Amino acid sequence: MASRYREAGYFYDEQFRRYILQFMRLFGGLLVKTGKGADGTEKFIKVPCRYADMQRMVGHILKNNSENVINSCPFITSHILTIQPDRSRTLDPLYVDKQQITEREFNHEIGKYTDKVGNRYSVERLMPTPYTLTMQVDVWTSNSDQKLQLMEQILVLFNPSIELQSSTNILDWTSLVIVELTDISWSSRGVPQGVDTQIDIGSMTFTMPVWISPPAKVYQQRIIEQITNRINDYPDDWDPDAYDFFGGQTFLTRDIFTPLNASINVVNGQIQLLNHAGLNDRGDGQEMNWADYLETYGGLKDGVTQIRLRLQSDPEAQTNPDDIVGTIEETGTGNVVDYTVDTDTLPGTAFTVNAIINPHNSYPDDGTLPVAATGQKYLILDDIGAIGASNVTNAWDNLVANKNDIIQYNGSSWVVFFDSSATEDITYIQNNFTGDQFKWNGTQWMDSYQGKYYPGFWRIVM
């Protein structure tokens, strides 16, 4: 029978129950002073807080199975007033958030965690559904002094709200909840009260914007240490009986993998092998070493072994046309290899510049730059005009341009070709003077692929 329920997609995670319990804990442990005892010390009683909608059996037990028992007080009750969909917080219902989680290895023999990598998981969190939960809290008291004591202890907390954490799970993106006091009803009695013996009830209304989450998908993480065998594609007319049919193929198969939890730093045509924290330390006091990492997979082959750099944010895709591909060669330093990039795999260049210059130090026909010619472009590293000296401004035909702009000579004067202050789109350019490619990210120029790549964002092809 249980399997039939699983096939039907049964799911219950007690999410509303947890919200209610966390909310009720706000009012647990409050005290009321009743006076002084015979020994002169002050006496207090703890005020219980319980859910108002109790079961009939529990109610009969509390009343000793009699209708003649009067409810004791003071006490606090809480219950749900309304649950309404909150369309103002509704987001993309098809959105899926992916998180990569790595645990530390646990040594069961010594009962402690080690500094080695343990299990790795990929977690897909689906978009939760927003609701507004309205709760009512009733304070039951037998006199005004009890009510004043309890109300003061409660109301001082809400100015006008308080934040709750409904879960300690680091992957629960709905764990923080704001509880806001929205209404107060001071008394359920009429005024004057006279000799009415009815228990006085003070009510407070609270709103909580909550989320109800569908179940997440959890996979065993394979991206860090995966091996993929790829067979080359061959034409449809291949003949398996032909002599040495595959002789002309450079590679029949390739193993694609990422060294265990390592990161790399790409800089100045070289790649440094680092640990997961970006340090040259493999955990035992020894430095990182390419030969040791690649020995299991056949060793490093100069000019043949490839490293692929992933520029996009999804490291799980098996193929990616935007990967930067290059071959590596040994340098004599254990954790450093030379990196030769296949320029065909670089992002498309929008245009080229002749050089990157400081316009206050270099200008046309000054000995560092050639005479101005139509089509020349320069990426400038400082402002022109606004803060430039008059001789420099005149050298650029009184041009006014900002740092990070690209200027161009149109045949008669210098003009702003690329306005950095008005461009937010990602733009790639190439510096013809050095051959390097740069990317404009909306705020600054940076190398298009140099920098640190953490586990999962780089791969090795043998």
Nearest to 204 by CA among 173, 247, 161, 261: 161
pLDDT tens digits for 386-410? 544 444 556 787 788 889 999 898 8
| Percent of the chain residues past pLDDT 90, beyond the cut | 22
Rounded to the nearest integer, the mean pLDDT of the chain is 80
Rounded to two decimals, the pTM is: 0.46
Q: Which residues contact 267 (CB under 8 A, 6 or more apart)?
A: 450, 451
Across residues 149-162, what is the average pLDDT?
Answer: 92
Instruction: Report long-range pairs for 424-432 (Cβ below 8 Å, ≥24 apart).
Output: 427/350, 428/346, 428/347, 428/348, 428/349, 428/350, 429/349, 429/350, 429/351, 429/352, 429/353, 429/379, 430/349, 430/352, 430/353, 431/352, 431/353, 431/355, 431/356, 431/379, 432/352, 432/353, 432/354, 432/355
> Which domains occur in the chain, in start order?
2-212 (3.30.2000.40), 355-431 (no CATH)
**200-204, 241-245, 290-294, 397-401 — most confident range:** 200-204
Q: In this predicted structure, what is the pLDDT of residue 129?
A: 94
DSSP state of 348: P
Q: In this predicted structure, what is the pLDDT of residue 45?
A: 92
**64-73, 137-146, 185-194, 274-283 — most confident range:** 137-146
Across residues 416-434, what is the average pLDDT?
Answer: 87
pLDDT tens digits for 324-350? 888 999 998 888 999 888 888 888 788
Least confident of 124-128, 159-163, 241-245: 241-245
Local confidence band at 196 (pLDDT 50, 70, 90 cut-offs): low
